[in-house]
A and B are shown apart, each in its own frame.
Chain A
Amino acid sequence: MMKIMMNKHNWTRFASFVWAIAIVIGSLPASLTTHATTLPYNVTFTLNNFRLPILSATLDDVSDPSHPTFTLQNGAPLWYSIAVQSTTDTTQLTPADSATDLVSTTFFTTAPLLLLPPVHVLPFDQWNGSYHFAALKLKTAFTGPNQQLHLELTPIEPHAVALDVVDMLVHLLGQNSDGAQVGLLAPGILKNIFDSTTSMPDFTALVDNYTQVLQSVPDSAQMLAYAYTCATNLVALLTNPTEQAGVIDLLWRVQGKVIPRSIVSRGVSSFAQAEFGLASEAFIKDQALAVGLALFGQNNPVVQLATVSISQPTRTPSPSPTTTITPSPTPDPVVNIHPTLTPVQTPIPK
Chain B
Amino acid sequence: MALVFSLYIALYPTSNAHAQGASFTVQITGMAQPPGFTPALLTLHVYDTVVFVNHAMPATTYAITAIDGSFSSPAIASGDQWSMTFVNVGTHEYHESSSPQHMAGELVIVSDAVSLLPAPQPDVMATAITDIRAGNSPPDVITLPSTTAGAKIKHIQPTQSGVQLSFLVLALGLFLILLMQTGVAFAIALYFRRRSKSRDLGVDFQALEQPNSLESVGADDHAKHEGKTRSILKKLPFFHSSQGDDEEQEDDDEDYDE
User: Which residues 105-143 of B sit at the A interface, judged by CB distance below 8 A?
Assistant: 105-106, 108, 110-111, 113-121, 124-125, 128-129, 131-133, 135-140, 142
- Asked if A327 is at the interface (CB within 8 A of a chain B CB), the reply is no
- Asked if A286 is at the interface (CB within 8 A of a chain B CB), the reply is yes
How many Cβ-Cβ contacts under 8 Å join chain A to chain B? 175
CB atoms of A187 and B137 under 8 A apart: yes
With a CB–CB cut-off of 8 A, which chain A residues contact B125?
A: 123, 179, 182, 256, 258
Of A40-48, A164-172, A310-318, the stretch lying at the interface with chain B is A164-172
- Asked if B181 is at the interface (CB within 8 A of a chain A CB), the reply is no
CB atoms of B117 and A259 under 8 A apart: yes
A172 with B104, Cβ < 8 A, contacts A131-B57, A189-B137, A267-B115 known? no
CB atoms of A290 and B115 under 8 A apart: no
How many residues of A are in contact with the other chain, CB < 8 A?
59
Closest to A256 in B: B128
A257 with B41, Cβ < 8 A, contacts A131-B29, A174-B117 known? no
The 0/1 profile, CB within 8 Å of B marked 1, for residues 218-262 of chain A is 000000000000000000000000000000000100011111110
Categorize the interface residue count of chain B.
Answer: 35 or more
CB atoms of A294 and B34 under 8 A apart: yes
CA distance A262 to B48 in the complex (A): 24
CA distance A293 to B104 in the complex (A): 12
User: Which residues 254-308 of A sit at the B interface, judged by CB distance below 8 A?
Assistant: 255-261, 263-264, 266-267, 270-271, 273-276, 278-279, 282-283, 286-287, 289-291, 293-295
CB atoms of A173 and B128 under 8 A apart: no
- Asked if A150 is at the interface (CB within 8 A of a chain B CB), the reply is no
User: How distant is B121 from chain A, measured CB to nearest CB, in Å?
Assistant: 7
With a CB–CB cut-off of 8 A, which chain B residues contact A52?
A: 32, 34
With a CB–CB cut-off of 8 A, which chain B residues contact A295?
A: 34
CB atoms of A290 and B43 under 8 A apart: no
5 A-B Cβ contacts within 8 A? A186-B136, A251-B117, A270-B115, A287-B40, A293-B34
